[in-house]
């Protein structure tokens, strides 16, 4: 029994202590049941973040929208006094998002253990839930 409690407490502490860099890794799918209508119309259906990165950046990302639309590139977290910002650097995109290539996108995503959230109006959030793990 003592060993079970130790493992349980250790697991909870590990999950609670993940950094944003660790929490963002994986694939997240849009939860179309929550948030405002703009989430489904404008937001990516899936977000994928991995650790494959050139020096100085955290990893690669790919955002997939409907009908084979996407943009992908690399990302990093920028830390400010009271928050952190997920910054995207699109490098490849479908024709619909080709204007983003070579730009820098500062997101307002809040990265949690099992979800990524973005405010879509004063009260609601768009939510992408972790698909893996």
- Tokens representing residue 9 in the block: 């407490």
pLDDT of the residue at 55 = 65
Tell me, yes or no, whether 118 lies in a domain. yes
| Residue 83 within any structural domain of the chain | yes
| Token code pair at residue 102 | 């070579």
Evaluate whether residue 15 is within a structural domain.
Answer: no
**pLDDT 10s digits, 16-49:** 567 777 888 999 999 999 988 889 988 999 999 9
Domain tally, the chain? 1
In a domain, 36, yes or no: yes
- Asked whether the beta carbons of 53 and 59 are under 8 A apart, the reply is yes
Strands 70-79, 125-130: pairing is: unpaired
Position 8 in a domain: no
Domain assignment of residue 114, yes or no: yes
- The residue range of the domain holding 28 is 20-130
Is residue 101 in some structural domain?
yes
Query: pLDDT tens digit string along 75-111?
Result: 988 887 777 788 999 999 999 999 999 999 998 888 8
Start-to-end CA distance of the chain, whole Å, equals 26
- Alpha-carbon distance of 37 to 59, in angstroms, equals 30
Q: Does some domain include residue 56?
A: yes
């Amino acid at each position: 029994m003592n060993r079970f409690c130790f493992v349980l407490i250790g697991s909870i502490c590990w999950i609670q202590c993940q950094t944003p860099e660790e929490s963002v890794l994986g694939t997240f799918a849009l939860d179309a049941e929550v948030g405002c209508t703009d989430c489904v119309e404008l937001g990516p259906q899936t977000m994928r973040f991995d650790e494959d990165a050139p020096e100085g950046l955290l990893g690669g990302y790919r955002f997939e929208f409907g009908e084979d639309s996407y943009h992908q590139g690399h990302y990093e977290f920028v830390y400010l006094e009271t928050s952190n910002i997920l910054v995207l650097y699109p490098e490849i995109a479908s024709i619909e998002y080709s204007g983003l290539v070579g730009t820098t996108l500062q997101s307002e995503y809040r990265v949690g253990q099992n979800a990524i959230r973005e405010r879509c109006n004063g009260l609601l959030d768009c939510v992408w839930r972790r698909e893996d793990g």
